[in-house]
Amino acid sequence: MKSLSEGKKVVVSIANPSTMRRTNEIVHFEIPNDVEIQVEDFYSPDVAVKGESYSIKNSDLDTDLRTYWTLLVDEVDSLATRSYVLSPTPKSPSSGVDNGLKTDSDVKFDFEITDDSIVSIHYTKCSQECQSLDFEFEYRYYTSYEGKGQKSGLYIFRDEGAGQTSQSYNTIVDFHIQKGDIASVMHLRGDKVDSRVVINNYADVPFATVTSDVHGIEGEHGVEVTVNFRTEKVTSDRFYTDSNGMIMEERIINQRKHYDLTDLQGFEVVSNFYPVNSAITLRDDTNQFTILNDRAQSGTSLRSGEIEILIHRRTTFDDDRGVEEPLDERNSDNSTISVQIQHQVIGATIESLHKENYNEVKRLQRAINEEPLQVFYSKVPESAPQERSSLKCPSLPNNIKLVLKVLDSQRVMARIYNMNEHFDNLTEPTSFDLSTLVNLVANLRQEGEGFSVTEWNLSLNKQVTSSSKINWSITDGKATFEGEKFETGVGNYFDLGSQEMRSFIFNFGETSPNQVVE
């Protein structure tokens, strides 16, 4: 963003890589401290655009002041791009860090800090009805086991406390809070972890994004750092973790489905940690409390209403699993590495999370971590902008995920996935119109090229016979189904059951449709 300091305009383009239409999402980007900016739509300057700035300090030094701009992207069509122009203006002398809360009758954002380590968030938004998000979080740690027998290391997590609770890890030394029209933002500076909490005031269901900047772990002993989220609205003796981002598996402390756990002495904590690829959830008959993570981690719920996720580790011993070195990663200057991790906190009634044939948690999981909006920067073009265009892909239902992959110059693979599952009581199949997909992919072919569609198994090494002779004709950019041997559906439509995937290959030109994918 150096161009803004030089008085030059910058174009920010927001690309939607998903077939899901996106509405009321926020994008953050850093801007120079010495300027204020005005934002307008690149193609429609008269259209109102909402944005606001906030500033944070990572230390007591004025040189560590950083300013961010929060942009509300009101809508981006599927597989389309939205562009904005940032125009810099000199910062007025009165501008600076706003440490007060702006008044807003519809949104209340309160907080508490207990024992200089536990942060409690109380958020309420009232429009047609009131929705709230109440939770607390803190950073804790286990000391790595370094005694006789199995030590904690790269592959093995084992705590020294032999079942005792973890200890507080971080002390908050400073904080800054800003309540804006678009987002409620809280920045906390700690002696070992800096964190930021952002809540989108325009989200259909309130959720908080908690970003944790965990400093490098120092000391002579190994440390296993966790972030612990708590809620008082869900009480349950079980929790759920996702299986490779798909179905949610039920977990019960000190129990396994197919065998009995015995002799847990020394492993009372670690035996209850499970892989968490994308989500971990607490649920009772009325409420649900879910944490989405941005990478594969390990998590548990050792106490009712609490979720604990392992976020950073450093060990001083090898765990004797083949690496022959401790987990002690360092930077080029020999300092221990720091990590930045992001979690989304969603706490709401189960009823409010269920939308028309999809679950809001699954949609957020897809929108934030699987197919996030992409941000690009460029100079303002000298010529007048052309009319905005896209692939003109119709938005698919929010529970349907589409993945396109170019296999070679004449073949494109399309994989369709129904994200609904039994865990959300969404078991009815979703009817899918294949012609919408054919129309999209057909736009990629050159004029005069042939076109055919075949269905394959998920490994793409065997063709599904029942759909090997699907025939389509393209007239005036519209697809018409002409085949009669598509046995799994009628005409253009077929039903996609919950958690079901299907793969299709679109052939251009003379490539054999039966060619196996290498």
Looking up residue 171, the CATH number of its domain turns out to be 2.70.98.30
Give yes or no: residues 87 and 172 share one domain. no
- Specify which of 95-104, 216-225, 412-421, 452-461 reaches the highest per-range mean pLDDT: 216-225
Separation CA 217–CA 226 (nearest Å): 13
Q: Output the pLDDT for position 154.
A: 93
- The residue with tokens 């078991």 is 427
Regarding beta strands 172-179 and 183-190, do their DSSP bridges make them parallel or antiparallel, or are they unpaired? Answer: antiparallel
Is the predicted pLDDT of residue 486 greater than 50, yes or no?
A: no
pTM attached to this predicted model: 0.86
For residue 264, is it within any domain?
Answer: yes
Give yes or no: residues 230 and 299 share one domain. yes
Q: Report CA dihedral (57, 59, 65, 70) to the nearest 10 degrees.
A: -30
The closest alpha carbon to 271, from 166, 160, 158, belongs to 158
Give yes or no: residues 48 and 111 share one domain. no
Cα four-point dihedral sign 92, 94, 97, 99: negative
Average pLDDT over residues 320-326: 92
Give yes or no: residues 285 and 429 share one domain. no
Could you tell me what percent of the chain has a pLDDT over 70?
84
For residue 391, is it within any domain?
Answer: no
Average pLDDT of the chain to the nearest whole number = 84
Give yes or no: residues 85 and 204 share one domain. no
Is the predicted pLDDT of residue 391 greater than 70, yes or no?
A: no
User: CB neighbours of 275 closer than 8 A, spacing ≥ 6?
Assistant: 241, 296, 297, 298
Give yes or no: residues 135 and 52 share one domain. no
| C-alpha pair distances (Å), 72 with each of 4, 77, 355 | 20, 15, 23
Average pLDDT over residues 405-409: 87
Tens-place pLDDT, residues 139-193 = 999 999 999 989 999 999 999 886 678 999 999 999 988 888 999 999 999 999 9
For residue 367, is it within any domain?
Answer: no
Q: Output the pLDDT for position 392.
A: 61
H helix and E strand count, the chain:
4, 35
Instruction: Give the residue with greater pLDDT, 261 vs 339.
Output: 339
Which range has the worst mean pLDDT, 13-22, 44-53, 346-355, 483-492?
483-492
For residue 388, is it within any domain?
Answer: no
Give yes or no: residues 233 and 115 share one domain. yes
Is the predicted pLDDT of residue 515 greater than 60, yes or no?
A: no
Any idea what DSSP says for residue 4?
A: H
Q: Output the pLDDT for position 470.
A: 55
Q: Output the pLDDT for position 241.
A: 95
Number of domains making up the chain? 3
Instruction: Give the residue with greater pLDDT, 85 vs 245.
Output: 85
Is the predicted pLDDT of residue 265 greater than 90, yes or no?
A: no
For residue 362, is it within any domain?
Answer: no
Is the predicted pLDDT of residue 276 greater than 60, yes or no?
A: yes
Q: Output the pLDDT for position 415.
A: 92
Tokens of 278: 């994308």
Is the predicted pLDDT of residue 484 greater than 60, yes or no?
A: no
Give yes or no: residues 192 and 294 share one domain. yes
For residue 517, is it within any domain?
Answer: no
> Strands, E, within 258-383: which ranges?
274-276, 279-283, 287-293, 297-300, 306-314, 339-349, 354-355, 358-359, 374-379
Element spanning 494, H or E: strand 493-496
For residue 303, is it within any domain?
Answer: yes
Which range has the worst mean pLDDT, 389-403, 412-426, 440-454, 481-495?
481-495
Q: Output the pLDDT for position 33.
A: 83
pLDDT band at 490 (very low <50, low <70, confident <90, very high): very low
Give yes or no: residues 270 and 222 share one domain. yes
CATH of the domain at 441: 2.60.40
Separation CA 167–CA 478 (nearest Å): 63
Give yes or no: residues 43 and 154 share one domain. no
| C-alpha pair distances (Å), 18 with each of 97, 283, 413 | 36, 29, 16
Give yes or no: residues 443 and 477 share one domain. yes
Boundaries of domain holding 172:
107-355
Q: Output the pLDDT for position 465.
A: 66
Regarding beta strands 51-57 and 65-76, do their DSSP bridges make them parallel or antiparallel, or are they unpaired? Answer: antiparallel
Tens-place pLDDT, residues 233-242 = 998 889 999 9
Is the predicted pLDDT of residue 261 greater than 70, yes or no?
A: yes
Give yes or no: residues 329 and 416 share one domain. no
For residue 518, is it within any domain?
Answer: no
Q: Output the pLDDT for position 29.
A: 86
Tens-place pLDDT, residues 64-108 = 678 888 899 999 988 889 999 999 887 654 443 343 334 344 889
